[in-house]
Structure 1
Amino acid sequence: MNILAIDQGTSATKALLVGPGNEILGRAEVPVTTTAAGGDGVEADPEELWSSVVSAGERALAAARAAGHVPVHAVALANQGETVLAWDKASGRPLSRAIVWQDRRSVGICERLSDQADDLRQVTGLPLDPYFAAPKMTWLRENVTDLGVITTTDTWLLHRLGAQYVTDASTASRTMLLDLDAARWSERACDAFGIDAATLPRVADCAGVVGETTVFGGRPLPVAGIAVDQQAALYAHGCVRTGDAKCTYGTGAFLLVTTGEKAPRSTAGLSASVAWRLAGKTAYCLDGQVYTAGSALRWLTEIGVLPAPADLDAVAGTVPDSGGVTFVPALAGLGAPHWAPHAKGQLAGLTMATAKGHIARAVVEGIAASVAVLAGAVAADLGDPLTALRVDGGLTRSRVLLQAQADLLGVPVLASRTPDATALGVAALARLGQGETGSPSAEVELTVRPVMSRDEAAERLSRYSHALTSTLS
């Protein structure tokens, strides 16, 4: 069975035609644009998101046909998670821009609800922060439109494809409206955000047919796998045992660890979410976010440090270390475990001897140190440190990043053969939804082991911690 797996992301939509042995028969990528709005706003054009889904899917199928691979049997969709929009349920017409997960304009909503933060965290597993969908949904209602429905982008894209009015349990758990223990909409949380639970989509399993689409070729195809991007990648890596962890390095960096069938609550500042729900059975995870990862490379390119993001290792390789320069990747605020949406990025330790290579290395080490902080929070919650970290995403093409991550964690880093673990994961879920085996599919291509002494790693993490404290203060 061949699955057309579509990963609608922040900076691009990727589509893969995945064969029965998890081989990639056709691939396409279509960039999408986000724009700044009102200082803390980050928006996207919904119609561009939709056209990118259609275009990427068609191009992937065309590439497969050119190689002699013709059939497609089902469609799967992964989504950004916390990005929302208002739309007309009858026509499917957007009534607002898409408010991207990086958007911070709902900070005031969170401040207004601060006295309910602990209660909401206990119900939903999530800290009260503008990163999640519900504050954005309330902000849209209060500032943009009182018409239509407001949902995460997956529900709208599924509607445009011709599927049902649904979201999946993993995406629903990123809204701050889901009762985490029961995996259903929480009246308590909906009331807090002024959202009518009756207007929300049905919460479906991640594997199972939720409708059909004729968009790709005219023949009805079942839509059989749906999941939020990071959880789809977690599944692709085969992280099904408690303590298994992966990190995806895309626009941001996202560390997830599987925790089992009981809904967790973090005491170390992480989020608790649904990993996936299969045949009505829910698995859970803890996760942490570094909002600035790949976006930091775009910033380095814009200010002239890198000729292009792909030149990271070439520039960083001109020096042996960062020369004492430290970078805190807070260009879009700080997520777990700090939850400081107003935080600003920091580049410290500059001297007259600082060169572009030092700055490039400092950015890489800042991202790796931030992930190491998240790994420390995971260890505090689970009682045991990570023994390895599986990784994927565009930034994992950088050997400098992989080595820095292994050194600062002090454990092996296992890099996926393909950066497209999200699409492979949702394809595996679609196989399950069609009654076939949906086995994990992200094969390890490279294992990077730490070479730095633990004393040196501790010194670098300490230097990062001091800079982080300054940022937070």
Structure 2
Amino acid sequence: MTGPVLAVDQGTSGTKALVVCPVRGVVGSASAPVRPRHLPGGRVEVDPRELLRSVVDAGRAALAAAGEPVVAVGLANQGETVLAWDPATGEPLTDAIVWQDRRAEELCTGLEPHAEALRKITGLPLDPYFAAPKMAWIRRHLTGRGVVTTSDVWLVHRLTGAFVTDAATAGRTQLLDLDTVGWSGPALDAFGLADERLPEVVDADTRVGTTTAFGPELPLTGLLVDQQAALLAQDVTAPGTAKCTYGTGAFLLAHAGPAPRRSSHGLVGCVAWRLSGRTDYCLDGQVFTAASAVRWLTDLGVISGAEDIDAVGSGVADAGGVTFVPALAGLAAPWWRGDLRGSVTGLGLDTTAGHLVHALCDGIAAQVAELADAAAADLGAPLTTLRVDGGLTRSALLMQAQADLLQIPVEVSALPDVTALGVGAVARLGLDPSLRVAEAVPRWKPSAVYEPRCGAEAAAGRRERFRTAVAALLDATP
């Protein structure tokens, strides 16, 4: 049995660090904020130094809270956030362009003739959400110097000196061949990145080097992109099971087994993880605005924060005829229309803050339900349960709406910070190759289970109203 590990989840709005003991569970935790800048034109940037500082600060604070040594470190990352940097000095050459950023929209439009070929190679639709369009944009508009990579490569280099990325994170670039799990020459050519120096693609449970950033010298033995780390921590390790994380956005991932799978229904086919040379795959669907839509309502003064969702929403029985499509950063899967704006329809003089809150919960839940339907269609069997995590799962109103619209049970994780727990499990696997995945992953147990309360006919009506509102947006923005 190995000792505790330090598990660090570097996220969009902050970094969470846990000290995880295989026997006693979490024995220390800490967090550090990250403040991305939301700029005109759909641009979202963050100072890379702030990302690194948050990793070091949160990790050191978690170790101090635990008051005991650890034997290894694992690092989870944002996935599609990119920057250019100098590999000789480690210094950033640009700000980090965050996964939400839409500045590469025009570049993607110009690459549309390559879209289907890229989807067949990489499993990903052509969209500015992914890393390669942002990388190409940096090369065309900011700098040709240094290397241009996802943020994990830079963070790992600053921590250990290594130049690597794990297979699942590489799969978020649109430069990875889904079949060979290696960099694709045709994809690199399409984006004009053929001459780039690219990191080595490694297994998630690889000992990539050592770091003294947190105090004593420690091996870095686990690397995994955030949503796949959450998938692993919730023990979604067999085909037909799925999880959804409700954070800044909402992200549904369904395990697809050991063979690569391309979606026929608008989802992303990607690597779930590669452990000890074995690759597992998943289907992935995204809602760009979840907690960020709640913050938008907060900024308007409709509620005072996410903690008010249930208090304000419980004042009314339903959405009162209001339909909210929270496409505040565009629509992701299965529509892939990042250019669309959100809509609120059905307003009246009798509309209250409670109705708006209800409509937002229905809007988020309806988008996730569309993703679940797409996953079921791709997998050839309906999902039987959905395991969920993230800050918004504290809202009973949202979780009940999710169960109602899916017409299946929704199981809320009893374990907070599942992304960190997932990469902590990977770090243990990297430290001790004799461990099996089942031995490293925390035992799944829900803190609450939401069963559908409305009938199938009523749920279908609510979903049809949402689809009608989405169709109106699609018709209005060709």
* Aligned equivalents of 1:401, 1:197: Cα separation in 2: 47
1:440 aligns with 2:441: yes
Partner letter of residue 368 of structure 2?
A: V
Return the offset for 1:63.
Answer: 1.2
Could you give the per-residue CA deviations for residues 123-173 of structure 1, whole angstroms, max 9, x where no partner exists? 000000000000000001111111110000000000111241000000000
Return the offset for 1:316.
Answer: 1.1
* Aligned equivalents of 1:177, 1:220: Cα separation in 2: 33
Aligned position for 1:121:
119
Partner letter of residue 406 of structure 2?
A: L
Aligned position for 1:373:
370
Which of 341, 346, 354 aligns to 2:343? It is: 346
Identity of aligned residues (%): 56
Could you give the per-residue CA deviations for residues 19-61 of structure 1, whole angstroms, max 9, x where no partner exists? 1136111111212111123422111111111111111111111
Aligned position for 1:383:
380
Aligned position for 1:130:
128
1:320 aligns with 2:314: no
Residue 22 of structure 1 contacts residue 424 of structure 1 at CA under 8 Å; is this kept in 2?
no
* Aligned equivalents of 1:401, 1:256: Cα separation in 2: 19
Residue 72 of structure 2 contacts residue 219 of structure 2 at CA under 8 Å; is this kept in 1?
yes
Judge which range, 410-419 or 227-236, deviates more: 410-419
Aligned pair in 2 of structure 1 residues 198, 96: CA closer, same or farther (>3 Å)? closer
Which of 48, 51, 59 aligns to 1:49? It is: 51
1:280 aligns with 2:277: yes
* Aligned equivalents of 1:318, 1:29: Cα separation in 2: 34
Aligned pair in 2 of structure 1 residues 149, 447: CA closer, same or farther (>3 Å)? same
Q: Which SS does the other structure have where 2:41 is aligned?
A: coil
Return the offset for 1:345.
Answer: 0.7
* Aligned equivalents of 2:24, 2:228: Cα separation in 1: 18
Which of 77, 80, 86 aligns to 1:79? It is: 77
1:239 aligns with 2:236: yes
Partner letter of residue 91 of structure 2?
A: R
Could you give the per-residue CA deviations for residues 346-386 of structure 1, whole angstroms, max 9, x where no partner exists? 11111000010110111111000000000111111111111
Q: Which SS does the other structure have where 1:390 is aligned?
A: strand
Q: TM-score, normalised by structure 2?
A: 0.96
* Aligned equivalents of 2:300, 2:324: Cα separation in 1: 15
Q: Which SS does the other structure have where 1:122 is aligned?
A: helix
* Aligned equivalents of 1:220, 1:412: Cα separation in 2: 45
Structure 2: tracts of 5 or more residues without a match:
none
Which of 51, 63, 66 aligns to 1:64? It is: 66
Return the offset for 1:215.
Answer: 0.7
Which of 390, 393, 404 aligns to 1:393? It is: 390
Partner letter of residue 351 of structure 2?
A: T
Structure 1: tracts of 5 or more residues without a match:
none
* Aligned equivalents of 1:149, 1:244: Cα separation in 2: 38
Q: Which structure 2 residues correspond to residues 1-400 of structure 1 after superposition, within 5 A?
A: 1-21=3-23, 23-65=25-67, 70-196=68-194, 199-217=197-215, 219-400=216-397
Q: TM-score, normalised by structure 1?
A: 0.97
* Aligned equivalents of 2:267, 2:164: Cα separation in 1: 27
Return the offset for 1:443.
Answer: 3.1
Tell me the matched-pair count: 468
Could you give the per-residue CA deviations for residues 311-353 of structure 1, whole angstroms, max 9, x where no partner exists? 2111111111111111112100111100001010111111000
How large is the RMSD of aligned CA atoms in angstroms?
1.1
Aligned position for 1:428:
425
Residue 163 of structure 1 contacts residue 210 of structure 1 at CA under 8 Å; is this kept in 2?
no
Return the offset for 1:90.
Answer: 0.9
Judge which range, 430-439 or 151-160, deviates more: 430-439
* Aligned equivalents of 2:316, 2:471: Cα separation in 1: 27
Q: Which SS does the other structure have where 1:422 is aligned?
A: helix
